[in-house]
Chains A and B, each alone.
Chain A
Amino acid sequence: MSIKLIRRSAIWLVVLVLCACANLGSIREFAALSSDSAGYTALTNEYATSPTRLKKYTLEADDAQRKILDEQACQRKAQVEKLLLFHRTVSSYMKALSELSSDEIVSYDKELKDLTDKALTAKYIDEKEAGAVNAIAGLIARAATDFYRQKKLKLVIGEANAPLQDLLAVMKNLVDSYSSSLENEKAAIVLYHRRLMTTARQEKQSVVAEHLWLESQVEAERLDTRIRAAENYHKTISAISAAHADLYANRDRVSDKEVQRQMREYSSKIRDAYKAARGDE
């Protein structure tokens, strides 16, 4: 009787210990959100096509300026593949981090249920044994996988942090470049309208001049919206960088409640900044 009691207590103790597997949901969420955000290439594509757009804002006789814009477009097109690679590299890393942090990866529920159902049908085990396999084997498999998973997470985060910070710093500088390109685009559009407005006023075409002025304001506002999008995307990248730096500093205790809480806060910042960057489209 006492041996049975000891055996039962030992089983429950093992079950309780195994139930303390890490919940890394907030890291999964941060990584999934960052993967999505890093994949946002609208600003990069806009930078590349800016000279082509500006061809509309040249006078009919200005073939020379359109030729210059074609050359600029060609130079930027040559850069685009490498720029998109930066987005893909960060996005892929974050996707892998998200998968490694997900609950599904450490869950064997489906696989073990299929196994025990098959064994039950073949009458290798009975109902009671099937229940025990699902409960205990599932927890053991989960705990063993979780231990391995946490070890690998620590290694991956440790390996990735330095190059990720370097790449995100470069991407922030790139976004500054895209902002500058948008400012140049705005200046070119204003210049074009100013020339036409001056000609219209010289020819006493005040209605035409007013129409051109309105068009100029509408275009300037459109560019200002894109410049704000770039500022918000800069904030998105900054938040991803800060979050991963914190994760790196705490990689020995990723399942701590405090670390989880901090990651949730970062996710909130990233979500807001990214939403603002996209919302301005």
Chain B
Amino acid sequence: MAKSRKQAAEEALELAAQFRNASKAVGDYLYPNWTIISPGDRITLQGLEITLLNLATDLVTQAVGFLVLAGQAAVVDLGAATKTATAAIARINSAKKVIKIATALIGLAASVPTGNWGGIKPAIDLLVATVKTAEEEE
């Protein structure tokens, strides 16, 4: 059976831990026994210590790489569910916008019979602004 990306990531992390522990084991041998280890061997062991730790870091980076791939399909599907939710919210809010537009219409309708431009113009402006805001929010 093909290994899943998550399994590959888990294996990479396990290996990383083993390499890290191996690096620590080299250091645990090297530093307490410094004086009895030849200078050449000290250099070799120090090199090995850092190489093992670098490999551990690379393995963690690889594990994350597998997980990034593993999550991508879920990102798309969850995004779709979020769109369903936001569409429902927008639909509910549009009912409120209808009431706001009706309110602005009443204001305009009430001012027209007066023939008073001083009252009519603000009412028209409010209606236009309310409709424009409603459209922008769609």
B82 touches which of A82, A112, A122, A160 (Cβ 8 Å): A160
Known contacts A96-B86, A108-B99, A170 near B54 by CB under 8 Å: no
Among listed A8-16, A149-157, A213-221, A264-272, interface-contacting one: A149-157
A257 to B42 alpha-carbon distance, docked (Å): 69
- The reply on A49 being an interface residue by CB < 8 A is no
Give A50 Cβ to nearest chain B Cβ, in Å: 8
Total number of A-B contacts with CB less than 8 angstroms?
180
In the complex the two chains form, is A170's CB within 8 Å of B6's CB?
Answer: yes
Known contacts A108-B99, A155-B84, A184 near B67 by CB under 8 Å: no
- The reply on A252 being an interface residue by CB < 8 A is no
In the complex the two chains form, is A187's CB within 8 Å of B53's CB?
Answer: yes
Per the 8 Å Cβ criterion, residues 32-86 of B in contact with A are: 34, 46, 49-50, 53-54, 56-58, 60-61, 63-65, 67-68, 70-82, 84-86
A187 to B12 alpha-carbon distance, docked (Å): 18
Closest to B105 in A: A118
- The reply on A258 being an interface residue by CB < 8 A is no
In the complex the two chains form, is A152's CB within 8 Å of B88's CB?
Answer: yes
For chain B, the bracket of interface size reads 35 or more
A148 to B88 alpha-carbon distance, docked (Å): 9
In the complex the two chains form, is B34's CB within 8 Å of A122's CB?
Answer: no
Q: Which residues of A contact B1 (CB under 8 A)?
A: none
- The reply on A111 being an interface residue by CB < 8 A is yes
Closest to B32 in A: A198
Known contacts A47-B64, A111-B103, A170-B71, A156 near B78 by CB under 8 Å: no
Q: Which residues of B contact A171 (CB under 8 A)?
A: 71
- The reply on A180 being an interface residue by CB < 8 A is yes
For chain A, the bracket of interface size reads 35 or more
Q: Which residues of A contact B91 (CB under 8 A)?
A: 148
A30 to B20 alpha-carbon distance, docked (Å): 39
Give B53 Cβ to nearest chain A Cβ, in Å: 6
Q: Which residues of B contact A176 (CB under 8 A)?
A: 13
- The reply on A173 being an interface residue by CB < 8 A is yes
CB 8 Å contact bits of A158-190 with B (1 = contact, 0 = none): 011011101101110110110011011001101
In the complex the two chains form, is B53's CB within 8 Å of A173's CB?
Answer: no
- The reply on A227 being an interface residue by CB < 8 A is no
A82 to B75 alpha-carbon distance, docked (Å): 10
Q: Which residues of B contact A124 (CB under 8 A)?
A: 106, 110
A104 to B47 alpha-carbon distance, docked (Å): 64
A122 to B80 alpha-carbon distance, docked (Å): 46
- The reply on A195 being an interface residue by CB < 8 A is yes
In the complex the two chains form, is A118's CB within 8 Å of B110's CB?
Answer: yes
Closest to A164 in B: B78
A68 touches which of B46, B54, B81, B109 (Cβ 8 Å): B54
- The reply on A141 being an interface residue by CB < 8 A is yes
> Nearest 10 pairs between A and B by C-beta?
A122-B110, A163-B77, A160-B81, A96-B85, A152-B88, A166-B74, A170-B71, A167-B74, A111-B99, A159-B81
Given contacts A65-B54, A170-B70, 15 further A-B contacts (CB under 8 A): A76-B61, A96-B85, A108-B96, A111-B96, A118-B107, A122-B110, A148-B92, A163-B73, A164-B74, A177-B63, A180-B56, A184-B53, A184-B60, A188-B53, A191-B49
Can you report 25 A-B residue pairs in the complex whose CB atoms are below 8 A from each other? A47-B64, A72-B58, A83-B64, A89-B79, A96-B82, A99-B85, A99-B89, A100-B85, A108-B99, A111-B99, A114-B100, A148-B91, A149-B92, A159-B80, A159-B81, A163-B76, A164-B78, A167-B74, A167-B78, A177-B13, A180-B56, A187-B23, A191-B27, A194-B31, A195-B46
Which residues of A are in contact with B by a Cβ distance under 8 Å? 47, 50-51, 65, 68, 72, 75-76, 79, 82-83, 85-86, 89-90, 92-93, 96-97, 99-100, 105-106, 108, 111-112, 114-115, 118-119, 121-124, 141, 145, 148-149, 152, 155-156, 159-160, 162-164, 166-167, 169-171, 173-174, 176-177, 180-181, 183-184, 187-188, 190-191, 194-195, 197-198, 202
